[in-house]
């Protein structure tokens, strides 16, 4: 799952005006992947190519207990929640940010083959949706589409920024699904992953600055917040 991970970010932004802005929620949604790519670059965690390991991609995530165990992801969720609380001085925003971080593990558990753990170790779990391409595509697009529809229904703002975000997300996902399989998972591959996350997150920060929640009242809704 790639852009489907951003569905909880849109959903959190739709639920309440006290949730962080969309940019921070996008960071939360893919935080453990940000860290995984960096860890893989420096050799702390690892992946490799195993053609045919799943029907949708050849990536074998055989060593990532820090970022992608349930305990590890929960630790990142708590840490990010504390950071958001310090930045926003809002405990509700912190809780929503932490929940979005934690959602990453749940969505990976649905889509990955058994390569996830609870707290490291040899026992691995995963429902393996990636072995059913049409179902995986449908689930990912449905999750994102519903969450994005809810976000648009619950917020106000110009169409342009959100339309650009949707377009770029779909283009990146199409490349992920239908582009050539990677030949190597070294530094160029990992840096490309960081670049893709960076582009989407930067656009999300822009979108978040141009939209405000429909529950906001008073002078703050006269124009989009800066």
* Domain count of the fold of the chain: 1
pLDDT of the residue at 73? 98
Distance CA 46, CA 53 (A): 16
pLDDT of residue 225: 39
Domain assignment of residue 81, given as a range: 3-217
Query: What global pTM score does this model have?
Result: 0.93
Which are the contacts of 194, defined by CB distance < 8 A and separation ≥ 6?
A: 34, 37, 38
Q: What does the alpha-carbon distance between residue 182 and residue 148 come to, in Å, rounded to a whole number?
A: 30
Instruction: Indicate whether 223 belongs to any domain.
Output: no
Q: Is 120 contained in some domain?
A: yes
- Asked, for residue 16, whether it belongs to a domain, the answer is yes
pLDDT recorded at residue 215: 80
pLDDT of residue 61: 96
pLDDT for position 223:
45
pLDDT at 214: 84
What are the tens digits of pLDDT across the range 46-72?
A: 999 999 999 999 999 999 999 999 999
The whole-chain average pLDDT of the chain stands at 94
User: Whose CA is closest to 28, among 81, 87, 92, 70?
Assistant: 81
Would you say residue 101 has pLDDT above 80?
Answer: yes
Residue 222 lies in a domain: no
pLDDT at 217: 59
Considering the domain boundaries, does residue 22 fall inside one?
Answer: yes
pLDDT reading at 16 higher than 70: yes
- Give 122: exposed, middle or buried? Use CB within 10 Å, 0-12, 13-18, 19+: exposed
In a domain, 91, yes or no: yes
Q: What is the pLDDT of residue 222?
A: 45
- Residue at 224 is within a domain: no
Query: pLDDT (tens digit, 9 = 90+) per residue, 112-129?
Result: 999 999 999 999 999 999
Q: Is residue 101 part of a domain?
A: yes
């Amino acid at each position: 799952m790639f852009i489907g991970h951003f569905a909880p970010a849109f959903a959190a932004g739709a639920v309440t005006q006290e949730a962080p802005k969309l940019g921070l929620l996008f960071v939360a949604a893919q935080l453990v992947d940000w860290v995984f790519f960096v860890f893989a670059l420096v050799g702390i965690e690892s992946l490799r190519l195993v053609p045919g390991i799943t029907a949708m991609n050849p990536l074998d995530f055989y060593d990532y207990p820090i970022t992608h165990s349930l305990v590890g992801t929960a630790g990142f969720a708590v840490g990010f929640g504390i950071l958001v609380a310090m930045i926003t001085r809002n405990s509700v925003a912190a809780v929503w940010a932490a929940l979005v971080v934690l959602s990453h593990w749940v969505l990976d558990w649905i889509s990955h083959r058994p390569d996830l753990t609870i707290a490291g170790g040899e026992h691995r779990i995963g429902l393996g949706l990636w072995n059913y391409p049409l179902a995986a595509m449908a689930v990912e697009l449905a999750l994102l589409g519903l969450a994005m529809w809810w976000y648009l229904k619950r917020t106000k703002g110009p169409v342009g920024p959100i339309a650009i975000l949707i377009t770029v997300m779909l283009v990146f996902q199409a490349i992920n699904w239908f582009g050539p399989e990677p030949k190597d998972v070294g530094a160029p591959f990992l840096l490309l992953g960081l670049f893709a996350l960076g582009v989407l997150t930067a656009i999300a920060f822009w979108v978040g600055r141009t939209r405000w929640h429909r529950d906001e009242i008073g002078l703050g809704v006269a124009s989009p917040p800066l």
